Chain A
Amino acid sequence: MSIGESKYTETAKTRRGKIAVLLLWLVAAIIYIALGVWIPWVFLLGFWQSAIYVAAVTALSPMVVRRFG
């Protein structure tokens, strides 16, 4: 069973692209940590609260791959 490569599963082929995607997730994590420290009772009570945020970053990732390679 394979899903092949689609526009949603594009992965970075170059070193530049891989670093860009890694940086995207690092920045996303830092922003979420800051939100959590700021209002913990809104952002840190359950993983479902971060799901929309994770979906947005996941959707952004293929765009970063296309931009940086």
Chain B
Amino acid sequence: MSWAAHDIEPYLLRAKLGASISVPFCIIGSYSPDILTKWAVYGLDFSGSKKLVEDPIKLHRGWPGVGFTHSLLFSVLIALVIFLWSKNRAWAVSFVIGAWAHVFSDTLDSVGVMLFFPFSEWHLHFDLWQYVGEAGRGHDAVAYYTSFGGLWDIFWALWLAARWRILTTSYFVENIFPTDPFWPWVKGKIGMIGALTVYRSSAFFGFVSIAAWMIWALFVNKFHPSFDWTVGGPQWAPKVGPR
């Protein structure tokens, strides 16, 4: 799985594709595939010793399970509901783009996703890094940030750092606020500070969490604190695939 790229992708997609992307709906879409399952995958504590389900991989990405949230069709159906409710095409399209960005990021690990569910339960997986979610959050953090997964997150963090101006107040006021009716609505509810906070939170969290997890994995944890940039790494992690 991908850790913090999902927090950042919507901003850079907006910067690339322009006003046709609604940042909040792209963020919701980006979070949507995992929104119901992350806690169940990792268990109740940081070490992963308090398991909630017997087979986290099957629950997260498989069938029977909630793996259908990582299919292409699932987000299209949710987007249809968003469109029927809001009549806003940009919100619906942004949701799909955010969700698909998440889904394609997740194809890079060893379990992958059921891209064409319900028509097929076949998983698309490129095996660039191991899926280690079933070992608990702490071990997954070490595995992810010391393998190619960490590089994937760093790529998005550096891209965001290079485009830091998209997070400034003036960019928000001139380019984001006037092009999406979501923002006047939010401003009406929680004020301008609230709207700016909603806009920036996911990007800020994504950026700082990449740096913090990387430092934690390399210098704080006592478990394999070294990089393993091999395909399918880290090699100490049990090899797992689709279930």
- Do A and B form a real pair? yes
Chain A residues proximal to chain B, CB less than 8 Å: 1-3, 5-6, 8-11, 29, 32-37, 40-41, 43-51, 54-55, 58-59, 61
Instruction: Return the contact of A40 from the options B7, B198, B205, B213 (Cβ within 8 A).
Output: B213
Residues of chain B touching chain A, judged by Cβ–Cβ distance below 8 Å, are 7, 46, 137, 141, 168-170, 172-173, 177-178, 184, 187, 191-194, 196-198, 200-202, 204-209, 211-213, 215-216, 219-220
Residues of A within 8 A of B194 (CB): 55
Instruction: Please tell me if the beta carbons of A29 and B204 are within 8 angstroms of each other in the complex.
Output: yes
B212 touches A36 (CB 8 A): yes
B205 near A50: Cβ-Cβ < 8 Å: yes
> Looking at the complex, which one of B168, B197, B212 makes contact with A51 (CB distance below 8 Å)?
B197
- Residue from the list A8, A46, A54 in contact with B204, Cβ < 8 A: A54
B88 to chain A, nearest CB (A): 14
5 examples of A-B residue contacts, CB within 8 angstroms? A29-B204, A33-B211, A35-B212, A36-B216, A45-B137
- A-B residue pairs, 3 tightest by C-beta: A36-B212, A47-B205, A8-B192
Query: What CA separation (Å) do A45 and B220 show in the bound complex?
Result: 17
Q: Is the CB of A29 within 8 A of B213?
A: no
For residue A45, which residue of chain B has the nearest CB? B137
- The interface residues of chain A, by DSSP majority, are classed as helix
CB <8 Å contact, A2 and B178 = yes
**CB proximity of A40 to chain B, nearest CB, Å:** 6
Contact A58 B193 (CB under 8 A): yes
Decide if the interface of chain B is mainly helix, strand, loop or mixed: helix
Residues of A within 8 A of B141 (CB): 40
**Residue contact B208 to A32, C-beta cutoff 8 Å:** yes
Contact A3 B187 (CB under 8 A): yes
One of B168, B202, B206 near A11 (C-beta < 8 A) = B168
Q: Is the CB of B215 within 8 A of A44?
A: no
Smallest CB–CB gap between B28 and chain A, Å? Answer: 12
Q: How far is the CA of A9 from the CA of B175 in the complex (A)?
A: 13
Q: Is the CB of B200 within 8 A of A54?
A: yes
Residues of A within 8 A of B219 (CB): 37
A45: which B residues are within 8 A, CB to CB?
137
B50 to chain A, nearest CB (A): 13
Q: How far is it, in angstroms, between the C-alpha of A59 and the C-alpha of B195 when the chains are bound?
A: 11
Task: Indicate whether A3 sits within 8 Å of B215 (C-beta atoms), given known contacts A9-B173, A29-B204, A50-B208.
Answer: no
A58 contacts B209, CB within 8 Å?
A: no
Smallest CB separation, A25 vs chain B (Å): 8
Give chain A residues whose Cβ lies under 8 Å from the Cβ of B46: 40-41
Cα A41 to Cα B46 with chains together (Å): 7
Q: Which of B192, B212, B219 has the most CB of A within 10 A?
A: B212
| Cα(A54)–Cα(B209), bound, Å | 14
The residues of A that contact B178 with a CB separation of less than 8 Å are: 1-3
